[in-house]
Structure 1
Amino acid sequence: MRNGIEGIDELLRDRLLIMANDRSANDVLSHVPLRTGGLVLTGADAPARCREIRNAQPGMVVAVDYGSHTREIASVDAPFGLATSHGWRALGLADLNEILDGQRDNKVSFAVTPTCFIPPDETGDASVFKAVIGQTNQLDREDTIVLLPCSYRWLRGVSLHHLVKGIRACRHPVALIMQADEDPLKRSHVPEGLRQLCRSCPRLVLWRTDLAAFDAMAHGALGAAVGASAVLRFGVAPRPDNGGGGRKPYTVVLVRRLLRYLRVATLQDWFAHVDPWTCGCAVCDGAPLTRFIDSDIDVCAALQHTVRELYALHYELDATLPGHERIDWWRQKLVDSWEHHRLLASQTDTELEFPKVLQAWRRQSPLPLPSAEQPRGQDQSGPS
């Protein structure tokens, strides 16, 4: 990696990271390619696990997400913080530097700011968001990515303009988390807003996401981090009880030809009377996608299958040139997905709705927002 700010950009460019709990790291590690992949780990032991991975595989890209955004709401005076064994610790600039140094001491490939959750901008002045950018711009570092865990409302209206302006002004790459009670891309105007953001901010990384990673990178995002589990595929607002939980999640697999994550139980229902679809990835080796049950072994295998399929899709994206060629590739994948939905409905005699998110991605892309230095009449759109 080259020295300087350009170095971290080149490290992240077109890279697909898998975000997983520290307990799942070893389950997916062997399925992550060194050249184009990497891991972002969550959980109390994430820093130590990063160090262990780098000791064993020095070329593997690893980073941590402390999850501060799931615990506290950011304020102008305290946009960063960390949960410790002694309670919550708000971080000033010197403390923030210390935490980022600690990450690098654990051999992470790049440091990630422990940013608290940035709520919707009710005042219209984007003061909390500006505090995050302003403080991180004071960091004399070239190894850091600024985490922006935002409400989905930042992707709409005037808030989007604030977001673009702030990200452009940030001297570090920015990792955006979109928060909503369910898939944020189901909210009106959010898919278009995200595309406009990606096309306007080339140093943006989409974080804690799903297949939106591919739409984002097709439209100019620097890279992305896809969650290995459903809870890591979108942002969550802080809750007093820190989320509760305890219920065992359903077994879910990525069906690449449909561009969808689906419960295995749903696939079993669809294919109850016909031969199920099979998968040729290294984990499945031609076995049916319906074979997974809720045993620990099958849950692990389903996760490994999904990681393999994500990187198979990413391999195709990485083989395209950014711009027209990449967008055309993604549009064709969406056309193929539509056809596979029709085929599946016919084979299984099932009524299948083409998901609203995929419908949104088939629409034309909005233009990027003009930069302050560029007259509005000048074209900076690239492919539409």
Structure 2
Amino acid sequence: MVLDPSAYERHFATVAEPFALREPTLFHDEGLQGTLEQWEECTADLVLTPTRYLDVGENGARALEEAVSQINATDTSRVAFAVPVDARWLTQRLDELVSLLRRVRIPKALILGSKDKPASSKQNAQALRRIFSEVEETALLRIDLAAVDAMVHGASFASIGDTASTRRAFPPGERSFNPDPSDTSPNVLVPDLLGYFRGSTLADHLRADSLRCSCPPCADSGENEGAGRVGRSLVQLQDSADTPRAHAHNLAVWSGLWWELSGSHVPACRSRWREKCACALQNHEEYSRRVSPVRDKFRPSKALEYWAQPHH
């Protein structure tokens, strides 16, 4: 269990205040050391530093440098350095980010901030692989299936958000834009496509008897309904009331995927992951034939295309 104070959701980092510090108490001093000591009293296995949101501008860069200096001067035991950077760091300040992360003496937890999907582009996918290959003891949190690619390529641990809003960090004061607020259907992880899609999209563009899933929660659902068929059609997950079932399905799918990949040595694990991504690309083409060419809802992300390529 990881405790995340999530200071980056409320505050921008500055050189004067790179962290959101707690008030000193009778038993804890002021400053970062005292704040971390208070957080470490919880029962979590790991505590993230209360790092504020690091914008891509010069102020954010100077704030990250100051945060690195402060965390290296503290005495910690169960702490990881949270690095909530705007996703534009991956294209505009990547060399600087890698250099600063390599200076940190404790584990790091990278969190990408963006109003859109922060790891869906080829450039960001490439940058993340570079970070995990060059910086030891680095994790990737609050992300989508980019977490799997990160783990395959050297991340120490990763987390996949349960909802769309927890698969990224938003800049303080901002939230995602929903083009259709009336659509309350959950996001469903489609195993064949290695991607998340609105339940309404699946219901509108796929046959009712298609996309049957036999992950444990879906298999249990099929048995409970007494339908006489294995599993459940993901097309059924189209209402807000289906959100808990969609979350259970999503968790079962990606955890099962990681269980399958992690049973291999690194070269075989990477090869198998690439093959799964390549297969998902082919499935996107197949699924697209089931919908109108004008309303193609199943185009793969550039990141998936990159993951599917052989790299040497």
Normalising by structure 2, we get a TM-score of 0.85
Contact map agreement 2:212 2:232 (CA 8 A) in 1: yes
Find the aligned partners of 1:336 and 1:245 in 2 and give their Cα distance.
31
User: In the alignment, residue 102 of structure 1 is paired with which amino acid?
Assistant: Q
State which of 240, 249, 255 in structure 2 corresponds to 1:305: 249
1:117 maps to which residue? Answer: 53
1:166 maps to which residue? Answer: 100
Contact map agreement 1:66 1:82 (CA 8 A) in 2: no
- Pairing of 1:281-296 with structure 2 (within 5 A): 281-285=215-219, 286-296=231-241
Find the aligned partners of 2:65 and 2:276 in 1 and give their Cα distance.
38
* Partner SS state of residue 40, structure 2: helix
- Pairing of 1:24-173 with structure 2 (within 5 A): 62-81=1-20, 94-122=30-58, 126-157=61-92, 159-173=93-107
Are positions 1:321 and 2:265 aligned together? yes
For residue 83 of structure 1, report the CA deviation from its aligned partner.
8.4
Unaligned 5+ segments in structure 1 are 1-61, 85-91, 366-383
Contact map agreement 1:68 1:83 (CA 8 A) in 2: no
1:358 maps to which residue? Answer: 304
> RMSD of aligned C-alpha atoms?
2.6
* Partner SS state of residue 185, structure 1: coil
Unaligned 5+ segments in structure 2 are 220-230
Q: Rate the CA distance shift 1:287–1:82 in 2: closer, same or farther, 3 A.
A: farther
* Partner SS state of residue 116, structure 1: coil
Find the aligned partners of 1:194 and 1:255 in 2 and give their Cα distance.
23
The Cα offsets for residues 270-329 of structure 1, whole Å up to 9 and x where unpaired, read as: 224x62211111111101111123243x2111111111111011101211222x222211
Deviates further, 160-169 or 229-238: 160-169
Find the aligned partners of 2:77 and 2:115 in 1 and give their Cα distance.
34
Q: Rate the CA distance shift 1:299–1:140 in 2: closer, same or farther, 3 A.
A: same
1:370 maps to which residue? Answer: none
- Pairing of 1:163-312 with structure 2 (within 5 A): 163-187=97-121, 189-239=123-173, 243=175, 249-272=184-207, 275-285=209-219, 286-296=231-241, 298-312=242-256
Contact map agreement 2:56 2:88 (CA 8 A) in 1: yes
Find the aligned partners of 2:200 and 2:286 in 1 and give their Cα distance.
20
2:273 maps to which residue? Answer: 330
The Cα offsets for residues 110-142 of structure 1, whole Å up to 9 and x where unpaired, read as: 11101000111437x932111111111111112
The Cα offsets for residues 343-374 of structure 1, whole Å up to 9 and x where unpaired, read as: 32345676442322212323455xxxxxxxxx
Contact map agreement 2:2 2:46 (CA 8 A) in 1: yes
1:24 maps to which residue? Answer: none
User: In the alignment, residue 66 of structure 1 is paired with which amino acid?
Assistant: P
Find the aligned partners of 1:244 and 1:265 in 2 and give their Cα distance.
18
* Partner SS state of residue 331, structure 1: helix
For residue 254 of structure 1, report the CA deviation from its aligned partner.
0.6
Find the aligned partners of 2:200 and 2:254 in 1 and give their Cα distance.
21
What percent identity do the matched residue pairs reach?
28
Find the aligned partners of 2:19 and 2:83 in 1 and give their Cα distance.
11
User: In the alignment, residue 245 of structure 2 is paired with which amino acid?
Assistant: A
* Partner SS state of residue 156, structure 1: helix
Deviates further, 248-257 or 286-295: 248-257
Find the aligned partners of 1:101 and 1:329 in 2 and give their Cα distance.
42
Query: How many pairs does the alignment contain?
Result: 291
Contact map agreement 1:278 1:289 (CA 8 A) in 2: yes
Could you say which structure has the greater relative contact order, defined with CA pairs below 8 angstroms and 6 or more residues apart?
1
Q: Rate the CA distance shift 1:252–1:170 in 2: closer, same or farther, 3 A.
A: same
For residue 342 of structure 1, report the CA deviation from its aligned partner.
2.8
* Partner SS state of residue 165, structure 2: helix
The Cα offsets for residues 189-218 of structure 1, whole Å up to 9 and x where unpaired, read as: 222111111111121100111100011111
Find the aligned partners of 1:186 and 1:211 in 2 and give their Cα distance.
10
Are positions 1:341 and 2:296 aligned together? no
* Partner SS state of residue 80, structure 1: coil
Contact map agreement 1:93 1:135 (CA 8 A) in 2: no
Normalising by structure 1, we get a TM-score of 0.70
Find the aligned partners of 1:287 and 1:74 in 2 and give their Cα distance.
46
For residue 188 of structure 1, report the CA deviation from its aligned partner.
6.2
Q: Rate the CA distance shift 1:82–1:284 in 2: closer, same or farther, 3 A.
A: farther
* Partner SS state of residue 188, structure 2: strand
User: In the alignment, residue 356 of structure 1 is paired with which amino acid?
Assistant: K
Q: Rate the CA distance shift 1:287–1:307 in 2: closer, same or farther, 3 A.
A: same
